[in-house]
Amino acid sequence: MSIEKLNTWVDVPEGSDFTIYNLPFGIYSVAKGERRAGIAIGEQIIDLSYLQENGMLDGLDLSDGIFQREVLNDFISCGKQTWTNLRMRLHELLEESNETLKDHADKAFVDQADAKMHMPVQVGDYTDFYSSEEHATNVGIMFRGKDNALMPNWKHIPVGYHGRASSIIVSGEPFHRPQGQILPKDAEKPVFGPTKLLDIELEMAFITGAASKLGQTIPTEQAEDFIFGMVLFNDWSARDIQKWEYVPLGPFLGKSFASSISPWIVTLDALEYFKVDGPKQNPEVLPYLKFEGKKSYDINLEVFLKPQNGEEEKISTSNHKFLYWNIAQQLAHQTVNGCNINAGDMYGSGTISGKEPDSYGSLLELTWAGNNPIKLKDGSERKFLLDHDTIVIRGHCEKDEIRIGFGEVKTEILPAKI
Ligand code: CA
């Protein structure tokens, strides 16, 4: 796919994630003001309600006040044609020779440095997939040995479970180390206390924009019409709580205490140019999981750890394109039984690990269950995370000098509330 070259009158610094090719949506507030919808460009935010009130979005069939709500759900419920039409209008307004918005720039723009970002959507339901073959294999080797690493269903089903939506938080919001039941080594009875094995999961999540009806299935060729965009996703995990509780019904309190997202939703329209072929799927999948064309995304992902009073250090480099199951297959699978979806629902990819040890997406894998601790520049080691560690995930796409990115999801771990 080719891309039309665009130039804008807005000052976008070299290397910015928020170029004119991106235009991600978020919810922000300034000082004690109300929450409203904005678009990131360069180091600024475009106030969409200002554009609407001043007639710059006329003809797009948007209801009054739609960008002054606390979340984007009402806007994204309008459907793909509306998202795409708004994107085209913004491209016109931001184009180098267009003076319309430029004349209003002092009122229509806010510096990102002055804004506080909030949850962009109200998440009704959250699904967590398990779609990285490398991650599933690594965890399988650690838990069951090399010969039974991948379960027999794994290459036939985009494995997933229903997670907890209420504890999804936005970048910048810290959380307390969770407590729960843990079975100490060689013990027969569990104890209660703070997790000792607090871990990250490097993931991305897609957000559905359009709703489906109960009983309706969404085939892979229609899936992209239902997906609004993607965010970075850190699916925090307490491995000791998880290990004791997960049989027979799967993850529960070891996962549900927090999942962190980046505040800017990058649309599938913006990501279209960065599509690539995914891993070859063998054995052949069932007909409802077959797809045509490129459905994977070349999104570079990086994880950084910052100790208290220390410097940020990179601990992993991965890529969304490593995922065995793509987002169209995930949504087709989610709905194949007739399960309906809603605008604002979130779907985590599962931990995204690559083949190389420095591309693993969890500390469980990076330290191989704590056997190979990570050595940090301040001389300390990490098997799992300590209180006041901060984890930052960043992601961006780059091709032929065109760059778009997700910004970051940054979260500090606070001590357990005892
Ligand atoms: Ca997960």
Question: Where does the chain hold its CATH 2.30.30.230 domain(s)?
Answer: 25-118
Neighbours of ion ligand 1 (CB under 5 A): 128, 201, 235
* Structural class in CATH, domain 25-118: mainly beta
- The pLDDT of residue 1 is 63
- The pLDDT of residue 245 is 97
Of 118, 135, 176, 388, which is the active-site residue? 135
* Total Cβ atoms within 10 A of residue 230: 28
CB within 8 A of 21, min separation 6: which ones? 3, 6, 270, 273, 402, 403, 404
Burial class (CB in 10 A: 0-12, 13-18, 19+), 95: middle
Strand 300-306 and strand 390-399: the pairing is antiparallel
Q: What is the 3-state secondary structure (H, E, C) of 239-304?
A: HHHHHHHCCCCCCCCCCCCCEEECCCEEEHHHHHHHEECCCCCCCCCCHHHCCCCCCEECCEEEEE
- The pLDDT of residue 413 is 98
Question: Where does the chain hold its CATH 3.90.850.10 domain(s)?
Answer: 126-414
- d(CA 350, ligand 1 centre) in Å: 5
Q: Which residues of the chain have pLDDT under 50?
A: none
CATH topology of domain 126-414: Fumarylacetoacetate hydrolase; domain 2 (3.90.850)
Strand 381-382 and strand 160-162: the pairing is unpaired
- d(CA 360, ligand 1 centre) in Å: 13
Task: Give dist(CA 21, CA 247) in Å, integer.
Answer: 46
Task: Give dist(CA 280, CA 238) in Å, integer.
Answer: 32
Residue 156 is among the residues annotated as catalytic for this protein: no
- The pLDDT of residue 24 is 98
**Cβ atoms of residues 405 and 399 within 8 Å:** no
- d(CA 160, ligand 1 centre) in Å: 9
Q: Which two tokens stand for residue 413?
A: 């771990």
* Total Cβ atoms within 10 A of residue 247: 7
pTM of the model: 0.98
